[in-house]
Structure 1
Amino acid sequence: MKKYYASAKDYRDAYVEQGLIMAKYFPLLLIAVTITIGFAHSILLNMQGLMGIGEIIAFVGLLTQLRFPTFISIFVFAMVRLAISGAERLLEIMKTETKIDQNIKGISMKIKGDIKFDNVSFTYPNSEIQVLQNISFKIKAGQTVAIVGTTGSGKTTLTKLLSRLYDITEGRILIDGVDVREYALKSLRNQISYIEQDIFLFSNSVFENISFGRTSSLEEVIGVAKQAQAHKFISTIPNGYDSEVGERGVQLSGGERQRIAIARAFLTDPPILVLDDSTSAIDSQTEDQIQRAMNTIRKNRTTFLITHRLSQIRWADLILVLRHGEIVAKGTHEELLETSDEYRKIFIKKFDVDVAQLKEVC
């Protein structure tokens, strides 16, 4: 991988250098060639008696005056081509029709958070591989369900089906006893918040990133930032909540970006919250602080946890163990330690302990 990254960097540097050389010297070369050819042609015409010395001087002078317009024309042409290319890609995306029924006239009501997966199976479009098979479980509003399993077992896909990023192939997903396909899509998605490991922040201020999607006062933003344990570090950076975070939040660390995202989710106050490995870039001390805040704020919301952090999983009301898209075990932490080899293996491997020691850790 190091060799690959080194080769990619060398290629990028060479490509950038080539671009700089072309940008600097190609217009000059074009002007020089034009003047040279024009001057040579005018000399030929003079030798044939068709052009005088004064006319040659005037002609070359006019060519020289064309240098600046030529530079501008080349620059504008390059910018226009770039704009056309970008516009074509944007139009292609805008014209793409989704296969998901928006159901504009569907149900638009405040969700409580009772969720039931009834024999749900799912296959991605244009694929024959079934990602989820016969998933069935039920949780009450305000409860927390943790989803664990190896990479590729379908954990994230399961939560994506809640907001109908994809429609299920078989079965039903019920929220408050209503099939998710009967909700107006906009209403459904507005009541489900996702916090993922790869956080996207806009090149804007901290305040606008937290309040994105709704009109909020500074006091409200500060309140949720305190709940997400973000207020302290925000107060220490220049300009505080008015500080620019840079493209995709490059001015912040991974843990700081995730706390901003958690504060954003707190502000929207969704009845359903999905945390997909959202504390992976946060140190243990900060995680403990956020966990305390989450214990308070998720009392009245249904929460899905995708994580392998035992400190979070052990408090879940229901734990689902997935393998190859199927639920191989479900129950509380204590129940699964006693009954599920698959569940025990996850943590025995992670902590390098036996079952007895694992129970002591818990």
Structure 2
Amino acid sequence: MLSLKTEERGLHVKNPFLKNSTNAIELKGVSFSYDGEKKILEEIDMHIPKGSKIAIIGASGSGKTTLAHLLVGLYPLTQGDILVDGISTREIGLDVVRDNVFLVLQNPQLFNASMAQNLMIDEKTDKELVKKALHIAQLDSFVNELPEGLNTQIGKHGIKLSGGQRQRLSIARMVLQNPNVVVLDESTSALDVHTEAKLFSELEAYLESKTTIIIAHRLSTIKKADYIYVLEKGKILESGTQEALMREEGAFFNYKLLS
């Protein structure tokens, strides 16, 4: 297993998440290496305004998922800084970042427990909120058909669920947690086009006021992004609105034609 520098929990000097429902994110000269030698990401600069929807696209191995992990505070930076409302995550603390920035993964981590336990709900959880989360994630019909409902055991790593059901369970968990910032990393890749369209229709309203970062290779998932970054080999190749990138006829233009 690759060794990483021991996590710097941070000073907990300031918490920009406390008095805000969502936040602006800025990356300044962010570089990252797992082994201290080969850089997976190099000199990444991004400005993500509060409440905006930005998309990050690129081929496999371009560094998209590593960037997602850095955004939610899973790894300390090798170089550069990530700021939330102008405050460095080093002052905030990576543990605080993880509590307020939710990452929905392509292959979500699930426990060998019930659906309810994986959603982190109990008898005190607002039942209407649970219903809302299941509806947004397009899981309500599926759960209603189960003899044991949310008490259904899903097995190790959610093996008793399909890939799409696991992804939708993770999305429902995100809605219940109600984070300030949401990072979607290929989070609907296992869904059929019809289910994905219905899910995004419901999710769009929920995410309307939240800063959202969408990492994808399917261009159908980034149609309404305010701004797009194209990654290649750990660097930003180009960035702009979808209209501007199409006019430039560069990497995004060619990527779109192939998709």
TM-score under structure 1 length normalisation: 0.66
Instruction: State the Cα RMSD in Å.
Output: 2.1
Q: CA separation of 1:215/1:161 partners in 2, compared to 1, >3 Å: closer, same or farther?
A: farther
Alignment of 1:221-240 (within 5 A): 221-240=130-149
Gaps of 5+ in 1: 1-95, 351-362
In the alignment, what sits opposite 2:173?
A: 264
For the Cα contact (< 8 Å) 2:23–2:50, is it kept in 1? yes
Q: Distance in 2 between matches of 1:192 and 1:223?
A: 20
Identity level (%) = 35
Q: Which has the higher strand share?
A: 2
In the alignment, what sits opposite 1:163?
A: 72
Alignment of 1:87-102 (within 5 A): 99-102=6-9
Q: Distance in 2 between matches of 1:308 and 1:127?
A: 28
Q: Across the two proteins, how many residue pairs are aligned to each other? A: 254
1:118 alignment partner, one of 21, 28, 31: 28
Gaps of 5+ in 2: none
More contact order relative to length (CA 8 Å, sep ≥ 6): 2
Q: Distance in 1 between matches of 2:191 and 2:134?
A: 15
For the Cα contact (< 8 Å) 2:8–2:93, is it kept in 1? no
In the alignment, what sits opposite 2:160?
A: 251
Instruction: Output the amino acid matched with 1:163.
Output: V
In the alignment, what sits opposite 1:67?
A: none
Q: CA separation of 1:243/1:275 partners in 2, compared to 1, >3 Å: closer, same or farther?
A: same
Instruction: Output the amino acid matched with 1:265.
Output: M
For the Cα contact (< 8 Å) 1:227–1:263, is it kept in 2? yes
Q: CA separation of 1:307/1:250 partners in 2, compared to 1, >3 Å: closer, same or farther?
A: same
Q: How much does 1:214 deviate?
A: 11
Q: Distance in 2 between matches of 1:339 and 1:213?
A: 52
Q: CA separation of 1:104/1:118 partners in 2, compared to 1, >3 Å: closer, same or farther?
A: closer
Q: How much does 1:98 deviate?
A: 6.2
Larger Rg: 1
Instruction: Output the amino acid matched with 1:123.
Output: S
Q: How much does 1:163 deviate?
A: 2.8
2:55 alignment partner, one of 146, 165, 168: 146
For the Cα contact (< 8 Å) 2:73–2:95, is it kept in 1? no
In the alignment, what sits opposite 2:118?
A: 209
1:130 alignment partner, one of 36, 39, 44: 39
1:309 alignment partner, one of 211, 218, 224: 218
Q: CA separation of 1:123/1:287 partners in 2, compared to 1, >3 Å: closer, same or farther?
A: same
